[in-house]
Amino acid sequence: MNYAIRPDHPVFDRPAYQRDIHLLEVLDTVIRPTAFLLLSDGENFVIGRNRLDLAAWVWTRDGLDADTLDTVCRLLHIHFAGRAIHYTAKEDAARAMAEQFARQGYRQQSGMGLIAYTLREVRMPEDKGPIRPARMDELDTLARMYEDFQIACFGELQNTACRAHMQSAIEAGSLRVLAHDDRIQCIVNAAPKTPGGHTRIAMVYTVPDAQGQGYAKWLTAQVCRDELTRCPWALLYADADNPRSNAAYRRIGFEKMGVIREIKMVKDGMSE
């Protein structure tokens, strides 16, 4: 059976997919339009990938049956042929797929859970000072902070074009900073998805010697308050294994929507 689909396939309009569309926003808004790999049976799953250095994203409807699980795992196995199998999916499906691959001789090399949060009303924390847009003369500093952010979150650089990425964010006016004595303490990026749509909050990072002082909580709350004057709600993904940051997000009004998990499965002697 041919599972290849186009980005405008009807599966993306199915009620089951639409219920998860914000939980798997990266698949729908980033991967789907530019995917080199896009597969589906038209009802029960979607597999998408748009960069060789990042995981494939997998959407599955709830109550995944054994046949669909087998199909998804088989298609991933074919795609990654002889290399580490790297994917992101809803938590239950991600773990079920990991168990399936384990029975085929794979072992889990790494895994990261991400909690998806939504925010519609901000509870403001203690004032930590004025915030402002990032400036182009700060590009070198911001590029280094983006590198540090990725290593802190993922253990590696998932985007090596850090300078270009931060330059785009500065030019778009989406990157905000909190600075004391002209030294940047914390950054947050807020990118509206479409005019009138929700805003994605990302790249929340505080320099190590300023962590634990409430800067990220204050900056995120301020940015979200500004964004909610022109969008209905905000979306944020947080590391499920970082209790401090999750507690901070909940205190300013973020509510948990669901969990996705990124997993990399390998066999001994297998190429990355």
Per-residue pLDDT, 160: 76
The model's pTM is 0.80
- The pLDDT value recorded for residue 82 is 81
Strand partners for 238: 115
* Spans in the chain with pLDDT lower than 50: none
What is the structure's pLDDT at 195?
65
The domains of the chain, with CATH numbers, are 10-114+260-266 (3.40.630), 122-252 (3.40.630.30)
pLDDT tens digits along 250-264: 999 999 999 999 999
Check residue 54 and give its pLDDT: 87
Q: How many helical (H) and strand (E) elements, i.e. helices and strands, does the chain have? A: 9, 11
Answer left, alpha or beta for residue 6, where phi above 0 means left and psi between -120 and 50 means alpha.
Answer: beta
Residue 271's pLDDT is what?
54
At a CB cut-off of 8 Å and minimum separation 6, what does 201 contact? 119, 188, 189, 190, 220, 223, 224, 227, 234, 235, 236
| Amino acid identity at 10 | P
pLDDT of residue 241: 85
Give the separation between CA 257 and CA 115, rounded to whole angstroms: 7
**What is the number of residues in the chain?**
272
pLDDT of residue 76: 96
